[in-house]
């Protein structure tokens, strides 16, 4: 009996009779003359990132590196966060005063759900689309912690913000090759447009996303 694998592969080969046997995949030309790099000055790129993250109804706060801890604490205080989930390798000095930290790993889904929010770093930000990217790298923890709690506070440094999607994809190549580093693109809070195309923020993921941008530039 032929296996389904052989059946499908044989059908494909029969269907492609018109493709010359000598043709290699690279012989089919792919014109990549689209843009690969954003040539805008750094300030402009950062401002566009902030503007577009905001357009997605995410909150954005800008701070200098020496003000980061205070900014995190202020964001937590503003939301009455008392139990904050943090990854095991939370960078030193980020822990906000007056907040109980619930450290990974080992938290159950129930514990995540009954926390007040989560604090993570990110792999990079994309200016063109207002996206933050997590790739399970330092300070990011596993995927569930940025998903189950209702509030996600994410810290992005100026040098992490790239211009275009292709720049991000290049930087993520090694994460994509590794089973240990699943990747998540996050653009604003969870949202749906399923009811009369009205955009509603907050369905199954966090209802609030807040991004703290750390930069020495005077941007707003």
Partner 1 sequence: MSREGVPPLPTKRPAMAFEDAARLSLGDTQLRFNMGKATTTIRGKRTKVVDEMPDWEALREAGRAIKDRTLRHLDKYLIQLEESVARVGGKVHWAADAEDANRIVAGLVKSHGAREVVKIKSLTTDEIGLNEALAREGIAAYETDLAELIIQLADERSSHILVPAIHKSRAEIRELFRRTLEGTEGLSDDPKALAAAARTHLRKKFLTVPVAISGVNFGVAETGTVCIVESEGNGRMCLTLPKVLISVMGVEKLIPTWRDLEVYLQLLPRSSTAERMNPYTSFWTGLAPPGDGPDEFHLVLLDDGRTKVLADRIGRQALQCIRCSACLNVCPVYQRTGGHAYNSVYPGPIGAILTPQLVGVENAGSLPYASSLCGYCYEVCPVKINIPEVLLHLRGQVVRKKQESFLGRLSPENVSMQGLAKVFSTPRRYAAMQKLGRLGQKLVVKNGVIDRLPGSLGGWTAVRDVYPVAQQTFREWWAERERTVKPKLPPREETRP
Q: Under rule CB under 8 A, which residues in 16-45 are in contact with partner 1?
A: 16, 18-19, 23-25, 28-35
Report the 10 Å Cβ neighbour count for 142. 15
Tokens 């139990």, residue? 83
Enter the tokens of residue 152: 């996600």
H or E stretch covering 61 = strand 59-63
Q: Does 138 bind partner 1 (CB under 8 A)?
A: no
Of these, 22, 204, 216, 218, which contacts partner 1 (CB under 8 A)? Answer: 204
Q: How far apart are CA 90 and CA 16, in angstroms?
A: 53
Q: How far is the CB of 110 from partner 1 (least distance, A)?
A: 7
Q: How far is the CB of 96 from partner 1 (least distance, A)?
A: 25
Burial readout 171-207 (b: 16 or more C-beta within 10 A, e: otherwise): ebeebeeeeebebeebbbbbbeeeeeeeeebeeebbb
Q: Does 137 bind partner 1 (CB under 8 A)?
A: no
| Contacts with 44 (C-beta within 8 Å, 6 or more apart), sequence order | none
Tokens 């707003």, residue? 220
Q: How far is the CB of 23 from partner 1 (least distance, A)?
A: 7
Nearer to partner 1, 14 or 216 (CB): 14
Q: Taking CB under 8 A as the criterion, which residues in 67-96 touch partner 1?
A: none
Q: Does 54 bind partner 1 (CB under 8 A)?
A: no
What string marks each residue from 149 to 188 as x (binds partner 1 by CB under 8 A) or -? ----------------xx--xx-xx--xxxxxxxxxxxxx
Q: Does 213 bind partner 1 (CB under 8 A)?
A: no
Nearer to partner 1, 96 or 149 (CB): 149
Task: Name beta bridge partners: 191.
Answer: 201
Q: How far apart are CA 46 and CA 218, in angstroms?
A: 10
Nearer to partner 1, 32 or 216 (CB): 32
The radius of gyration of the chain from alpha carbons, rounded to an integer in Å, stands at 22
Q: How far is the CB of 210 from partner 1 (least distance, A)?
A: 15
């Amino acid at each position: 009996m032929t296996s389904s694998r052989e059946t499908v592969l044989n059908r494909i080969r029969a269907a492609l009779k018109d493709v010359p046997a000598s043709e290699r995949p690279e012989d089919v030309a792919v014109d990549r003359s689209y843009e690969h790099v954003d040539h805008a000055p750094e300030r402009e790129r950062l401002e566009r990132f902030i503007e577009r993250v905001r357009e997605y109804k995410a909150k954005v706060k800008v701070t200098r590196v020496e003000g980061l801890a205070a900014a995190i604490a202020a964001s937590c205080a503003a939301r009455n966060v008392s139990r904050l989930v943090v990854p095991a390798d939370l960078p030193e000095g980020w822990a906000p005063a007056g907040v109980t930290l619930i450290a990974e790993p080992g938290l159950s889904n129930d514990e995540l759900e009954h926390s007040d929010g989560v604090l993570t770093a990110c792999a990079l930000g994309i200016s063109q689309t207002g996206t933050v990217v997590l790739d399970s790298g330092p300070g990011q923890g596993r995927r569930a912690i940025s998903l189950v709690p209702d509030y996600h506070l994410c810290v992005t440094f100026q040098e992490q913000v790239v211009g275009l999607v292709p720049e991000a994809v290049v930087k993520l190549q090694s994460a994509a090759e590794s089973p240990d580093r699943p990747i998540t693109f996050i653009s604003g809070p969870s949202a749906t447009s399923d009811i009369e195309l009205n955009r509603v923020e907050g369905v199954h993921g966090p209802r609030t996303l807040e991004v703290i941008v750390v930069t020495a530039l005077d941007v707003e």
